[in-house]
Chain A
Amino acid sequence: MTLAWTLEMSVDAPGEAARDEARLVRAALRGAPDAFSKLVRLHQRRVFRLIGRFFRRREDVEDVAQDVFLTAWRKLSTYRAESPFEHWLTRICLNRCYDRLRRQRPDERVLDDRIEPRATASDPTAGIEVERLLAKLEPVDRFILLLLHGEGLTVAEIAGRLGWSRVNVKVRAHRARSRLRRLLESRP
């Protein structure tokens, strides 16, 4: 799923589908909400899938997804058709997730208790409470680590998706990995 998502995000929608989408964007820019609703239906699954990386509860995912499309509607006039619409939407989506994670209170950061810890082949006990451990990370660190290891994106890809500089992503990735290391070392 990760690979498919990455490929979907990096390859232009070919031919007729791209032209249909461009027509919908132009219509929405003229103030047609119906055209924008069609764009929502076209992209809602991708948006949900990406938000689902950062939030576990259905209501959180839906809430952020609504914010993403509302922001997209408000900023539609800033969209430049040189790049695919979904790249532009992904940038909005990731930035909304990032903002939301930063605003979360510490008590909201605890991950879903129902998730069974995963064991690894090398050490069957190593997976115990890993989810809880990850919940102790700062939201910014978890955000970067989920993009690196969850989505499998490179530093350059993350920079491109978020509109951040590569140096900024590198620094944040380094900090996030260092903090994860300290957390793992601090476990008994």
Chain B
Amino acid sequence: MNAACDRYRARLGAAVDGTLPRELESHPEGCAECARFAARLAAAREALRGHHANVEPDAGFAARVAVRLRRDPAVDLGNAALRLLPVTLMLLAVLAWIAFRSEPLPADSSSEDVLGWVVADSTGGRP
């Protein structure tokens, strides 16, 4: 296989509809290997086009899907979560409102008191 063969096969492989530049079209006429490759590629593409199971759903398919839906725990959990979503949002809104409305807590001075007591104790009550 020479460079011309390589170029021909690369272009033929990439061309979806099999059309090639004019300078490459005549290449397989003088190259039996490339002619054979082109025939195989055409057959492969034909096989891909015809590759189909041609299976139709039977009358009971939708019913079988429905049975699987009923058995699926993820569905129940998902539905439950969806049903609880408005309640959850409302609870969050109420909590946010309470937090916003409440008075700020007084500054916690307990640690300062303890410190004052320790200082007073060590100095015998002198300032």
Contact mask B51-74 → A, CB, 8 Å, 1/0?
Answer: 111111100011111101110101
Is the beta-carbon distance between B65 and A61 smaller than 8 angstroms?
no
Is the beta-carbon distance between B42 and A36 smaller than 8 angstroms?
no
Closest partner residue, chain B, to A56 (CB atom): B53
Cβ of A3 to closest chain B Cβ, rounded Å:
12
Tell me the dominant secondary structure on chain A's binding face: helix
Closest partner residue, chain B, to A53 (CB atom): B52
Cβ of A38 to closest chain B Cβ, rounded Å:
8
CB-CB under 8 A from B65, the residues of chain A are 37, 40, 66, 69-70
CB-CB under 8 A from A181, the residues of chain B are 9-10, 13, 41
Closest partner residue, chain B, to A61 (CB atom): B55
Contact mask A130-151 → B, CB, 8 Å, 1/0?
Answer: 1101100000000001101110
- Determine the distance from Cα of A41 to Cα of B49 in the docked complex, in whole angstroms: 27
Is the beta-carbon distance between B68 and A66 smaller than 8 angstroms?
yes
CB-CB under 8 A from A48, the residues of chain B are 55-57
CB-CB under 8 A from B75, the residues of chain A are 73-74
- Determine the distance from Cα of A14 to Cα of B77 in the docked complex, in whole angstroms: 35
- Determine the distance from Cα of A33 to Cα of B43 in the docked complex, in whole angstroms: 46
B40 contact from A111, A126, A131, A150, Cβ within 8 A: A126
CB-CB under 8 A from A31, the residues of chain B are 79, 82-83
Among the stretches A85-93, A102-110, A116-124, A161-169, the one at the interface with B is A116-124
Is the beta-carbon distance between A149 and B45 smaller than 8 angstroms?
yes
- Determine the distance from Cα of A114 to Cα of B47 in the docked complex, in whole angstroms: 14
Among the stretches B31-39, B87-95, B96-104, B114-122, the one at the interface with A is B31-39
Closest partner residue, chain B, to A76 (CB atom): B78
CB-CB under 8 A from B48, the residues of chain A are 134, 145-146, 149-150
Is the beta-carbon distance between A119 and B69 smaller than 8 angstroms?
no
